[in-house]
Amino acid sequence: MQTIGILLPRSTYYETIGFDLFNGLKNNLNETGNDSIRVVTENIGFGSEKQQCYRSAEKLLLEENASIVIAYIGQRGAQLLRPLFLAMNRLLIVVDAGANLPHEADYCPNILYHSFHNSLGAWLSSKMAIADGKKTAGMITGYYDGGYLHTLATTEGFIQNGGEIKFNVATGFKSDTFSMDDLIPHLQNYPGSALLTLFSGDFVQWYFKELIRIFGVGNTAVYLSPFGMEEQMLADAPFPGETTKGVVTWSRQLDSEKNRHFIQTIETNTNKTPTLFSLMGWEAGLLVDKIFRLQSELGIKEITPELLNAIEFESPRGTVKLYPKINTTYAPMYNATVISTENNTCQLRIDGTIESIPAHLDELTSIPLNDVETAWYNSYVCI
Amino acid sequence: MHLNEMEGKRKILVLCGGKFALGALQKLAYEHYLCGVGIGQGQESVVKTLETAASTSQLPFKHFKDKKSIAELDEWIRSIQPDFIFSISFPFLIPSEVLAYGEKKFLNLHLGPLPAYRGPMPIFEVIRYQEKETAIAVHYINDAFDEGELIFNDFIAINPTDTFGKVATKLSAKAAQVAINLANMLEYATSIPSSAQDENEARYFEFPEEEDTFINWKNMSASEIVSLINACNPWNTGADCLINNSHMKLLSATVSEETHSAIPGTVLSYKDNGKIKIACMDNRCLLVETLSCDWGIVTSEQYVKFLET
């Protein structure tokens, strides 16, 4: 019997993150006939405690003999675990929000990033602003979200395509210090500028409230990254106008049989609305299934670059493949607009598919890092 | 009291051989693991830089000028009482009596994959043998060079145009990351997975001698010659060769797609777009760009001008 492990995080604003990841994984393993696989879980808190993270992974490998470990961690967490997985020659699948730039981490044959590419989405969202005719922009973020290098993807996506960043606004960490008043003089000086925005979780709701309070509905051109357009949070956010758009990794609105089936399965089996994290767990199950099948076909027990290169599967968000240069998976991404529900909250409208993701990744991973690195150890949205 | 003692962190003493280890030292110091620095041989400027940095950080520092001075290593380590000792291109074999300080306390960051590339200059060997990747291999130190139990190989790619200097620079940056990853591993692990090296895969390479750095026109293909040239640049100022009975060293060259039927080593042209074209045994041509001769380090074009005057 095969054993796999999963390191589960916690988050104060995505309270069900661990539950969603685990249930996504288990439901998919049952779907693909892998219900005999033993899944062992370990909790890693916010992912910032190095000892907890390392010991949990070590326990899964040494005591539980897990052949694959899935972990919702960032690149720095993965770097911490790198020597352990190299020494044991086992595979670590990092289900990754992608808030770091993908090339911040060195290639490692024992670490596969299954990324939801928030940085790439931010980069594409900035290019969308250029395509909409925006010449000037400001980056809007906060104390927490601004600590990851998707900030560089956001600004470079705009600058490298001919735009100018004229201002930056960073907010405080708590709801009572969250304000967009600092934006007023900037938009007076540079009217019509694109607001290239990096927020996640509750911050999105607070942000929209502030934009409506100060500027009214539909008077700001907001461009969001995938985690800024996460539908669970948008469902409780006030509608800021259809001038709010961006790029998403996945949406409930994607019109495909695989997506409908995924949503229905999670809703039926867990009595809960599927989230991005349910999908991460679901796709981790598809990855595990694919890897075990390839090992069986090739008659090997090891994880080899050739094996990882052969990964390709259909998921609710399209075909998932490997970008081998940095061992990261990718799938199509989608242009989307925030529209109103009957209750004047937010939902998404999918406007089109972004193909050629490898070409966009080529561009993104060409951004020089110049020794900058993220300040945060914890997994993205795990605060 | 050092910060690492205050934080209860593992104390790591680093034995190094020069500037290659500077990045690793910085990272270990930044994370408060570093408790002392020893350097074996080393350029005077690097020794001075390290001594000053160690003094500023109030870290013990010792320079081991030669093999004889290694006799002082045991007492020095015991006076510092580190939890672990990292060797990063330290040029001397650590004697058994020093290793007796503690089992599995001495770890080497070897600059090539193990067990295939044991020896003092693996960067030269991996380039010469046209490997597509090399590694920092982390292993426990025993009383023979590079033979202790292996913990892991952490690989990086080698590009076909990479010189010894380029690979060394990349490995230096890699060693810094590996050192901090290893320190974290030692800090948090309950046990360190390691295994005996596979002796069937093991090879030991001595420090290269002139016969290793000499281009053998009769036996080497054009691409093997380019690899040897890259492997000798800059530490040997290029690959040694004889051209028209003159000894020189080739520093950079490429392979031409042109073919020929001349004797290997024959100069086919001194002026092929500013390069010297030489016949190779696989019927390919070598295009020499830069070389070192009695007149200094010159481009092929400059060399030809000297010949003509």
Q: Strands B246-259 and B284-293: what pairing?
A: antiparallel
- Tell me what pLDDT residue B2 has: 53
Residue with more model confidence, B140 or A104: B140
Interface contact flag, A58 B190, Cβ < 8 Å: yes
Residue B3 has pLDDT above 70, yes or no: no
* Share above pLDDT 90 across residues of chain B, in percent, rounded to a whole number: 90
For residues A92 and B131, what is the distance between their CA atoms, to the nearest angstrom? 26
Minimum mean pLDDT among A7-16, A234-243, A354-363, B74-83: which range? A7-16
Residues 61-90 of A with CB under 8 A from B: 62, 79-80, 82-84, 86-88
Residue with more model confidence, A175 or B99: B99
Mean pLDDT, to the nearest integer, of A308-335?
A: 96
Residue B1 has pLDDT above 60, yes or no: no
Distances (CA, A) of A77 to A182, B159, B175, B186: 34, 29, 19, 16
Residue A212 has pLDDT above 60, yes or no: yes
Q: Is B62 on the interface with A (CB under 8 A)?
A: no
Minimum mean pLDDT among A12-16, A28-32, B290-294: which range? A12-16
Q: Is A31 on the interface with B (CB under 8 A)?
A: no
- Tell me what pLDDT residue B5 has: 56
Q: Which residues of B touch A107 (CB under 8 A)?
A: 157
Cβ–Cβ pairs < 8 A, chains A and B: 51
CA of B222, closest CA in chain A: separation in Å? 29
Q: Best interface-test mutation with A: which of B185, B191, B195 has the largest number of A CBs within 10 A?
A: B185
pLDDT bracket for residue A89 (50, 70, 90): very high
Q: Which residues of B touch A84 (CB under 8 A)?
A: 185, 189, 193
- Tell me what pLDDT residue A229 has: 97
- Which member of A62, A83, A106 has the closest CB to residue B182? A83
3-class DSSP state for residue B288? strand
Q: Which residues of B touch A51 (CB under 8 A)?
A: 187-188
Interface contact flag, B181 A80, Cβ < 8 Å: yes
Q: Which phi and psi (to 5°) does residue A128 adopt?
A: -65, -40
Q: Which residues of A touch B152 (CB under 8 A)?
A: 83, 86-87
Residue B230 has pLDDT above 90, yes or no: yes
Interface contact flag, A79 B190, Cβ < 8 Å: no
Express each pLDDT in A226-259 by its tens digit: 999 999 999 999 999 999 999 999 999 999 999 9
Nearest residue of chain B to residue A54 (CA atoms): B188
Residue A79 structure tokens? 């770097």
Residue in A80, A228, A255, A57 with CA at minimum distance from that of residue A145: A228
Q: Which residues of B touch A83 (CB under 8 A)?
A: 138, 151-152, 154, 178, 181-182, 184-185
What's the mean per-residue pLDDT of chain B? 94
CA of A87, closest CA in chain B: separation in Å? 5
Express each pLDDT in A260-294 by its tens digit: 999 999 999 999 999 999 999 999 999 999 999 99
The pTM score is 0.92
- Tell me what pLDDT residue B7 has: 64
The H or E element that residue A359 is part of is helix A357-364
- Tell me what pLDDT residue A207 has: 97
- Which member of A50, A86, A87 has the closest CB to residue B188? A50
Residue in A176, A168, A226, A170 with CA at minimum distance from that of residue A201: A226
pLDDT bracket for residue A357 (50, 70, 90): very high
Nearest-10 crossing angle of helices A75-88, B164-188: 90
Mean pLDDT, to the nearest integer, of B63-75?
A: 94
Residue B295 has pLDDT above 80, yes or no: yes
Mean pLDDT, to the nearest integer, of A8-22?
A: 92
* Share above pLDDT 70 across residues of chain A, in percent, rounded to a whole number: 100
